[in-house]
Amino acid sequence: MSTYRAFEATGVHNLHLVERDLTDPAPGQVRLRVEACGICHTDVLAIEGLREDPSRPIVPGHEIVGVIDAVGAGVSAWRPGDRVGVGFLNGHCWECEPCRRGDFVNCANQEQTGTTVDGGYAEVVHARASGLVRIPDGISATDAAPLLCAGLTTFTALQRGPARAGALVAVQGIGGLGHLAVQYARSLGYRVVAIARGEEKETYARRLGAHEYIDSSSTDPGTELAALGGASIIVTTSSSGASMNPLVRGLAPNGSLVVVGAAPDPLTIATPDLIFGTRAVMGSLTGSSIENEDNLAFSLAHDIRPSVEVIPFTQAAEGYERMLSGKARFRVVLDLTAA
């Protein structure tokens, strides 16, 4: 096999199938045969031209599971046949100041899989060895793929603030991120409140593990959280800053609002809501490769799985459109094993 197929994004909303020459991995990298790749909303950065040079072809996709088939010079901890994953962060450099201080997520020289370097809408992917995640036995490629991004993002966010076992923790939004966050929060031993719009989502939220449900279309969610005693952590997964605004006053003293949903509109927060109660608002960006291994181990131990719609690799463009429409329940995953 001297070539492989990949979907390239160029310009704005232009995704097309091409054939590429197979190349050896560079020093410090591995090459893997992709088994599955999740479709994430962050893929809009590549496909909708929201990057530095939209004219440069890029392969989207950063929820990748595959098998290593070649390793580059200097790679000693990985070998052909290893089953691995690659997430949004393509591997840290070990040399910049954040890396030297152990802050690998904020590495100054880290590429973004599927946005600044080629990702997983392809049969073959190259990745830095430092960004690889070991995939444990007992979990399928199509289930593991979304956990590498949506799973890790929410699992890490839930650990950003101090919360004792049994504390009230809220998850805003029961979608691609939120349906996993509720499962993690329940398994971490919290009293879980799910917040979403509409009564129809309550049954599903409780099935995922929520103890309480707040319909934000009919009541003020901050007021309702305060009436329940206040949340130690609120993880916001929606793509609306306005919907997050009332949540701060629903925090318990020393509570944290952790933002993982990227919204086009800003947060507007009354300063007294922060000062009185010593509350905090923070962002959370995914996690490191070793934290992703912790995430997968925890997911496997607690039977946490994403809700996925699996489609053939050749239907990547259709899968992206379904994700973009908001109709997917809840993650679309490309299956390359049958391609």
Q: Using 50, 70 and 90 to split pLDDT, how confident is the model at 338? A: confident
Q: Using 50, 70 and 90 to split pLDDT, how confident is the model at 339? A: low
CA angle, residues 29, 70, 336, in degrees to nearest 5: 100
Residue 88, preceding peptide bond in cis (omega within 30° of 0) = no
SS3 243: helix
pTM for the full predicted model? 0.96
How do residues 167-187 score in pLDDT, each as one tens digit?
999 999 999 999 999 999 999
Q: Using 50, 70 and 90 to split pLDDT, how confident is the model at 204? A: very high
- Give pLDDT, residue 217: 95
Whether 176 and 330 have beta carbons less than 8 Å apart is answered as yes
How do residues 247-286 score in pLDDT, each as one tens digit?
999 999 999 999 999 999 999 999 999 999 999 999 999 9
297 membership: H or E segment, kind and range? helix 289-301
- Give pLDDT, residue 182: 98
Residue range 213-237: mean pLDDT, rounded: 97
SS3 234: strand
Domains and CATH numbers, the chain: 3-149+287-335 (3.90.180.10), 161-283 (3.40.50.720)
How do residues 101-140 score in pLDDT, each as one tens digit?
999 999 999 999 999 999 999 999 999 999 999 999 999 9
- Give the whole-angstrom CA distance, residue 180 versus residue 112: 23
Cβ-count burial 271-298 (b if 16+ within 10 Å, e if not) = eebbeebebebeebebbbbebbbbbbeb
251 beta partners: 231
- Give pLDDT, residue 249: 95
Average pLDDT of every residue of the chain: 97
Is 31 a residue whose pLDDT tops 80?
A: yes
Residue range 304-320: mean pLDDT, rounded: 98
- Give the whole-angstrom CA distance, residue 130 versus residue 108: 14
